[in-house]
Structure 1
Amino acid sequence: MSSETHAQPELPDFDLIANLMVAEGVHVVSPSELHGLFSGHLAAGARLEPAVLLQGACDLMDVEALKHENSKILLLDLYQQSLAMLEAPELIFELCVADEDQSLAQRAESLGQWCQGFLSGFGLYGKHTDKTLSREAKEALADLNQIAQIVAGVEEDDGSENDLMEVEEYVRMVVLMLFAECNKAEPPADNNSPQTTVH
């Protein structure tokens, strides 16, 4: 196999985003929910301008505006890397959720928050009520809604560990399926204005 010709997209670290939120005075939202929101936008077919994206993140985090320039850069990177992962043919998309260092209960809660964020982002574009959505996609969204109700209190054992990993993998595949269904190439619309640059 030849050496890779381009770097694989990679999500910013969960803890890095958590630190950003602390620096911005955010206490009500987790990095999981924020990444879920961005992923929901993208899966629904939305492509947000940087200013709109950052405003949506501020709304979710319940802050007027981001105080630090590096916060904006990190959030835009999270969005761009997520899009690159969703578009990659190798199905490398990842969920930004709490890692193995955290307790099983925290990781389960983190996955639930990710699903909540995803459903919010996806729902903003009315896609969940879209008549053109396949039955399979609608069932998958209903499943995500169930998973979003996950609450802390999971038993710490190998069985639960495996269950959580299976659920996480299922969520990952659902997102890729929804992205594929809602991001089919369409005839150019009149909103294909040139990409604006970030200042």
Structure 2
Amino acid sequence: MTQTTKQTTGTPSQPVSFDALADKLLQSGQALSPSEIHGYLSGLLVARHNLSVSQWLNDVAHEFLKTDASEHPAKPLLIELYNNTRRQLKTTDFAVSLLLPDEDTDLGQRVDSLSNWCNGLLCGISTQFDQQSINKKTLSKEIQDILSDFSAIAQVQKRDSSTENDERDWIEVSEYVRMALLVLFNEFSNLPPSNKNQKTIH
């Protein structure tokens, strides 16, 4: 699935596709999940609304690339992904999209990618909010429920076969995740960061 954004003025941003980012990551010998990377970026933006592009490149290099991002073949796409995602989260037209495989991709792979996306988001949030602060009453019940749901989705295993009902379930769950991301972004903006260790919220 292509990760796109809408703009009311100016030239539209170049969309970032799942396959294009996967190819650039493979060029450096890294079989990383584009969905998990986008989830991680989304989690960072939820937890740190003032995240800069340079901070994003440093964080993704440390967490995923394990090398300096400045000369990585995926750098231009990672910058565009940051620009698109940040803009989408700040708009009010609910145009945010998740970086997932195209709809004609095997359902099992799409489920796996959505699971990776949720895991990445939790990891991104946990760079600023540790498990102790999540367990406290700092967060509303709605937010705690969303994080619990994301944790459950992150642990879903893909199936070897699928049915029409499975396809409908995937559409419903992916749409829930997309809308829940907007809720998280808005709610976390009012919370001070906690003393944290970089641990994934599970």
TM-score relative to the length of structure 2 = 0.81
Q: Offset of 1:92 from its aligned partner?
A: 0.7
In 1, Cα distance between the equivalents of 2:159 and 2:83? 34
Residue identity matched to 2:29:
G
Report if the CA contact (8 A) 2:38-2:117 is conserved.
yes
Q: Deviations over 1:36-67 (max 9, x none)?
A: 00000111234323332112112222422237
Aligned residues: CA RMSD: 2.4
Alignment partner, residue 78 of structure 1 = 81
Structure 1 stretches of 4+ moved >6 Å: none
Structure having the higher Rg: 1
| 2:54 is aligned with 1:51 | yes
Q: Identity, % of aligned pairs?
A: 33
Paired positions, count: 183
Q: Which runs of 5+ in 2 are unaligned?
A: 1-7, 193-202
Residue identity matched to 2:138:
T
| 2:17 is aligned with 1:13 | yes
Residue identity matched to 1:148:
A
Alignment partner, residue 132 of structure 1 = 138
Alignment partner, residue 102 of structure 1 = 105
Q: Which runs of 5+ in 1 are unaligned?
A: 187-199
In 2, Cα distance between the equivalents of 1:155 and 1:38? 31
Residue identity matched to 1:137:
I
Greater Cα shift, 54-63 or 113-122: 54-63
Report if the CA contact (8 A) 1:104-1:154 is conserved.
no
| 2:171 is aligned with 1:168 | no
Report if the CA contact (8 A) 2:28-2:73 is conserved.
no
| 2:152 is aligned with 1:149 | no
Q: Deviations over 1:118-149 (max 9, x none)?
A: 00001111166254211110111000000001
Q: Offset of 1:71 from its aligned partner?
A: 2.3
